[in-house]
Chain A
Amino acid sequence: MLWNKKAQLTHIWKWIVYIIVTGIVVFMITYIPSVIIGKSVGTQNLENMMFSERIFNEFSIYDPLLFRSYPGETCSGFCFDEKFINDSFDNTGSLREVGFKLSLGQKEIFFNKEFYEDAVVLSPVRYDRFIEERPVIVRDKGVVDKLVIDQIYSGRMNKFEE
C-alpha cells in the first residue's frame, strides 16, 4: 500500500471531528435530563413569598392575655428589632443562603447581615433578590407605615447537591 500523506491527514481530521461530536452528543444526553428535572422542581420565588408572610406574621403584635396575634399590626420598639428576627430564623447548615433587610420607617434591621451586604452587590448576576412592601399599623405611633422586606438568596446555586 502506498503511503499518501495528504489522505492520511484528512483521515485524522475526520477522526478528531467525530470524537468531538460524539463527546458533545454524550454530554448533552447526560446533561439535558438533569436540567429538565432541575427546572421542573424549581421553586422560583415561592420560598421568598413564604418568608415574606413569615416575617409579616412574626412582627405581628401578640397579646399574651388573650393568646391572640394581630396580623398587620406591629410596634416600632421591641416588636421590630434585630434580636427578635435572629431568634425567629435559623439558616445554619442550609446550602440555600438567605439574608434580608427589613425597613420600617427610618429603622432598618437585618437577618444574616454579612451575607446580605456581600450578596446584594452581586445581584442579580450571582444572587437573586426579592423585594416586597406591605402596609402595617405601627400601634405605638398610631400610624400606617410601610414594611419593606428585601431578601437576597442563592436561589439558583447548589440547591440539591452538597
Chain B
Amino acid sequence: MHPGFVMFVAVLVLLYLLWFVHGIGSDMTYEKKFLATDLALTIDSLLASRDNVVLYYLPQAEDFVNVTYSFEKNKVSVFESSPSEKNAGIYYFTSDPDVFFVNSLLKIKSSEVFPRFSKIGSVLNIADAKKEGAVNIYSLVCPKKTYNLGNIVFDPAHGFDAKLDQGDKGFSSGSVYEYVLTREISSILRMLDTVGLISGFTRDSDIDLPVDVRINEIQDSVVSLHIGSVSGSDIFVKAYINYDSSVRDASQKLACELVNHVSSALINAGVKVSGVAVIPVVLSHESDSQFKILVENKPAVLLEVGNINMPMFSQDSKKAVASGIIEGVRNAVE
C-alpha cells in the first residue's frame, strides 16, 4: 500500500476525532443530560416527603440561558429549541397521582433566574423565585369537603370601654392593645367583605362586651379573632376548635382554611410567620373564659393571629389578616 494513502487515511481519522471531540466540548449534551437526571431526582426526592418542602435549585450559569426545562407526567426534558431535538436531556421519575404540577415548563432566559421547587400539600410548583411571591411552607392540607356554615358571625374578641374604664383589654404591649387591634381588623374585614360572607359582628366599637354576651350573638357559626402574645419573636397563626363539638369536622375545615389563608396573606405582606396550627381543645380543661366562644353545637373557631410583642401590626398586615379571613371563609363554605 502506498505510504501516502496510509497517511491520508490516518489524517482523515484524526480529523474525524478532532471534529468529534470539538462537538462534545462545544455542545451541551452532557449538561442537558446531567440537568434532566438531577431534576428528575429532585422531583423524586420532593415526592418522598409527606410534609411541605421548598427547595431552591442552583442559580443557572450564563451557558444555560435559553435552556428550557419541561416537566411532563413522568418525564423531565431539558432542551434548547425543541424537546425532540437530538441530544435533549431526558430522564424519568415516578409521579404521585395526588400531586400535580402548577408549572410544567420553565424557560431560563437569564442567568438571574433562581429556580424554586415547592411541594405544598398536593401542589408541586416549579417557578422563578425572583418573580413569584413567597411560598407558605406552613400551609396545611385541608379536608376537601366544604360545609354550609349558614350565617357566620365575626367576633373581634375582648372589649373595653375607656370612658367607663370597664371591660377586658386582652393582651397588651406598650400602647398596643388586643381589643383595639381585633376591632380595627374587624372594621377592615367589614369593608373588604363585598359579597357578604359575614352576616354579623359582635361589636364595631370599643365597648365592654363579656364573652357570655358575645356567645348570644352567634347565629349559625362564629369566627372569634384574638391576637397572640408569646415571648420571643415567633409569629404564629393558630386556630382553636372544640374537640367535643358535634360539628367538629365543619369547625376543623373552617379553622384549616383560616390559618392557611391568613398565614399566606401575612407572608405576602412581608411578615415572617413562624408556624401555623389547628388545635382541638377540651373546654373543661381550659381555664381561659375566652374559649367559651367555641360552642358545642355550631361551627366555631377561635383564631389567634401573630404576636402582640412584635411590631407586626402595620396597616398592611391588618389588611392581610382581614383579607385572609375572608378567603378562608370563602374556601370553607359550600
> Which A residues are closer than 8 A to B by beta carbons?
11, 14-15, 18, 22, 25-26, 29-30, 33, 37, 40-41, 43, 46-47, 50-51, 53-54, 57-58, 60, 62, 64-67, 69, 71, 87-96, 98, 159-162
B133 close to chain A: CB less than 8 A: no
A25 to B91, CA, bound (A): 30
Give 15 A-B contacts (CB < 8 Å), ordered by A residue: A18-B1, A18-B6, A26-B13, A29-B20, A30-B20, A37-B29, A40-B30, A51-B48, A53-B48, A57-B48, A58-B50, A89-B97, A90-B74, A94-B74, A160-B91
A40 to B29, CA, bound (A): 12
* Chain A: CB-nearest residue to B248: A65
A27 to B156, CA, bound (A): 79
Q: A96 near B92 (CB under 8 angstroms)? A: yes
- When A18-B9, A93-B74 are in contact, do A57 and B49 touch as well, CB less than 8 Å? yes
Q: B94 near A89 (CB under 8 angstroms)? A: yes
Interchain residue pairs A-B with the least CB separation, the first 3: A54-B48, A94-B92, A94-B74
A112 to B95, CA, bound (A): 14
- Interface size, B (range): 35 or more
A51 to B47, CA, bound (A): 9
* Chain B: CB-nearest residue to A37: B30
Q: A25 near B13 (CB under 8 angstroms)? A: yes
B316 close to chain A: CB less than 8 A: no
A62 to B75, CA, bound (A): 29
In chain B, residues 227-255, which have Cβ atoms closer than 8 Å to a Cβ of chain A? Answer: 252
Q: B9 near A90 (CB under 8 angstroms)? A: no
A44 to chain B, nearest CB (A): 11
Residues of A within 8 A of B280 (CB): 65-66
Question: A162 is contacted by which of B90, B96, B143 (Cβ under 8 Å)?
Answer: B90
Q: B94 near A98 (CB under 8 angstroms)? A: yes
Contacts A29-B20, A159-B91 given; 17 further ones with Cβ under 8 A? A25-B13, A26-B13, A26-B16, A33-B24, A37-B29, A37-B33, A41-B34, A47-B41, A50-B48, A53-B48, A57-B50, A87-B98, A89-B96, A93-B75, A95-B92, A160-B36, A160-B90
Question: B41 is contacted by which of A33, A37, A46, A58 (Cβ under 8 Å)?
Answer: A46
- When A87-B97, A94-B94 are in contact, do A54 and B47 touch as well, CB less than 8 Å? yes
Q: A90 near B97 (CB under 8 angstroms)? A: yes
B89 close to chain A: CB less than 8 A: yes
A111 to chain B, nearest CB (A): 9
Residues of B within 8 A of A65 (CB): 252, 280
* Chain A: CB-nearest residue to B36: A160
B209 close to chain A: CB less than 8 A: no
B57 to chain A, nearest CB (A): 17
* Chain A: CB-nearest residue to B47: A54
Residues of A within 8 A of B90 (CB): 160-162
Residues of B within 8 A of A71 (CB): 50
